Amino acid sequence: MPPGFWSFLREWQFLAAFLLLIDSMKTSNGYWVHSSCCMAPTEYSPIAPPFGDIKMPPKKTMRNIPLTLSAFVVLVLATSCSNDAPKEEHETVLSGTATILVDSAIYDMMRASKSLYDALTPKAHVTFKPVDARTAMSELFAANARGIIIARDYVTDEQTALKSRGAEFPRTQIATDALVLFTQKSFPTDTLNDVQVKDFLKGGKVNLAPLHLATTPVFVVPGVNSSEYANIVNVILRGQQPLARMTLTASHASTREAVLAQPGRIGVGLLSQLVRDTAFKMLRIGFTDTAGARVYPQHVHQGYVVQGMYPYPVPIYIMLKDAVSQYSIPTGVMQFLARDGKAQRTFLDAGIVPAHAKIELNITE
């Protein structure tokens, strides 16, 4: 017997009794007697049937009832059994299944907001999968990824592909990180200026004496597919490729180890990766802002990033393959990361700048 058969049968026993009651309301000539709370009972005349000259079926006898009811119950049982099959549920912003590709440079940081999301949306089954930034963007362009979270903007060839595509991907910025240069604590200088950084990366000549350096430092960067490398191109060199001698590694962890292994190296990473790493120091960078004002080197800190007093801010975006929709779980992830106060707080706690939060600075002299 199917599950719930006996309770189902009791319900249809009641229906059978109801049908018998209806049958008993027929007159001897086969027509119905109608009654209503608002109308007096009226019996239709067998001489002038209500629908014109139509032969009405003969009155059913009690012998007809069990067979009719049996057939009816079998039909309903079959329907009931077919209805036991699970119904397909439509995806919404709060329910469904999706995989979001996450830039490996920020994957660890994104875990905090992902935990909050999971707790608040029990019907959503969303997986964050770490990949390098280039792979994330390539999968988005190939329509293989429903959404990505990435710590960089488009690079040159992606901008060209976007123009060919003819439409932007839906995206919103959820936070601002920063590209940082980090060294061993024994590194001879604590500060560089933006011109010196660019000259180093372009392979140009830099006066090393004021920096107390004996040789030109080697930059250590995660591979060319990383967001760190792309931000050297986008943020520091404004679209140009670096020509300096570099050591390319597989990940931030590998970059960290390489810098620790040799004192004269300069690692390239993100503020969110290094803000609590006491093994290194982050170099302060002086620069000239867009208004032509000189900005002196400051501590590498989210407070100076939000004030525009650090030259290398890095946007963190969530980008979607499809248009924003109430029937899209990636849309729900985007809305949560950008609008939920607790989600935005995780970026502040990670040492970077939330994109959609009111920030109050306490500046001490």
Whether pLDDT at 365 is above 80: no
Which residues constitute the domain of residue 37?
5-83
What is the SS3 assignment for 265? strand
Assess whether 27 and 117 both reside in one domain. Answer: no
Domain of 109: which CATH number? 3.40.190.290
Residue 249 and residue 223 in contact, taking contact as beta carbons nearer than 8 Å:
yes
Angle, CA 250 vertex, CA 246 and CA 255 arms, to 5° = 60
Assess whether 198 and 326 both reside in one domain. Answer: yes
- Virtual CA dihedral for 70, 72, 75, 81, nearest 10 degrees? -80
* CA 37/CA 291 separation, integer angstroms: 85
β-strand partners of 313: 178
Whether pLDDT at 334 is above 60: yes
How many structural domains does the chain have?
Answer: 2
Contacts of 357 (CB under 8 A, 6+ apart): 341, 344, 345, 348
Residue 213 and residue 188 in contact, taking contact as beta carbons nearer than 8 Å:
yes
CA neighbor of 136 nearest in space, from 327, 334, 317: 317
pLDDT above 70: percentage of residues in the chain: 75
Residue 52: alpha-carbon gap to chain centroid:
66
How many CB atoms neighbour CB 360 within 10 A? 4
Assess whether 131 and 235 both reside in one domain. Answer: yes
CA neighbor of 301 nearest in space, from 267, 274, 265, 280: 274
Q: pLDDT for 158-193, tens place per residue?
A: 999 999 999 999 999 999 999 999 999 999 999 999
Assess whether 216 and 301 both reside in one domain. Answer: yes
Q: pLDDT for 288-328, tens place per residue?
A: 999 999 999 999 999 999 999 999 999 999 999 999 999 99
CA neighbor of 246 nearest in space, from 235, 259, 234: 259
**What pLDDT score does 1 carry?**
54
Sign of dihedral through CA atoms 256, 139, 354, 181? positive
Assess whether 33 and 98 both reside in one domain. Answer: no
Residue 362 lies in a domain: no
Tokens of 220: 């250590």
Residue with tokens 């090393």: 208
Residue 312 lies in a domain: yes
Residue 223 lies in a domain: yes
Residue where a domain stops, chosen among 51, 83, 115: 83
Mean pLDDT over 103-118 rounds to 98
Q: pLDDT for 121-133, tens place per residue?
A: 999 999 999 999 9
Residue 216 and residue 189 in contact, taking contact as beta carbons nearer than 8 Å:
no
Q: pLDDT for 26-58, tens place per residue?
A: 444 443 433 334 433 333 333 333 333 434 444
Whether pLDDT at 199 is above 70: yes
Assess whether 189 and 275 both reside in one domain. Answer: yes
Q: pLDDT for 221-269, tens place per residue?
A: 999 999 999 999 999 999 999 999 899 999 999 999 999 999 999 999 9
Residue 23 and residue 66 in contact, taking contact as beta carbons nearer than 8 Å:
no
Assess whether 237 and 264 both reside in one domain. Answer: yes
Residue 364 lies in a domain: no
Mean pLDDT over 8-27 rounds to 45
Assess whether 28 and 112 both reside in one domain. Answer: no
Phi, psi of 76 (to 5 degrees): -70, -35
* H helix intervals, 88-181: 107-120, 133-141, 156-165
Residue where a domain stops, chosen among 53, 83, 113: 83
Residue 60 lies in a domain: yes
What is the SS3 assignment for 201? helix
Residue 365 lies in a domain: no
Q: What is the mean pLDDT of the chain?
A: 83
Question: Which DSSP category does 84 fall into?
Answer: T
Assess whether 218 and 313 both reside in one domain. Answer: yes
As a whole number of Å, the end-to-end CA separation of the chain is 81
Residue where a domain stops, chosen among 58, 83, 108: 83
pTM of the model: 0.76
Residue 204 lies in a domain: yes
Tokens of 96: 């469904």
* CA 223/CA 307 separation, integer angstroms: 30
Phi, psi of 220 (to 5 degrees): -115, 120
Assess whether 51 and 112 both reside in one domain. Answer: no
* CA 252/CA 10 separation, integer angstroms: 67
Angle, CA 275 vertex, CA 273 and CA 278 arms, to 5° = 105
Assess whether 27 and 101 both reside in one domain. Answer: no
Residue 282 lies in a domain: yes
Assess whether 73 and 219 both reside in one domain. Answer: no
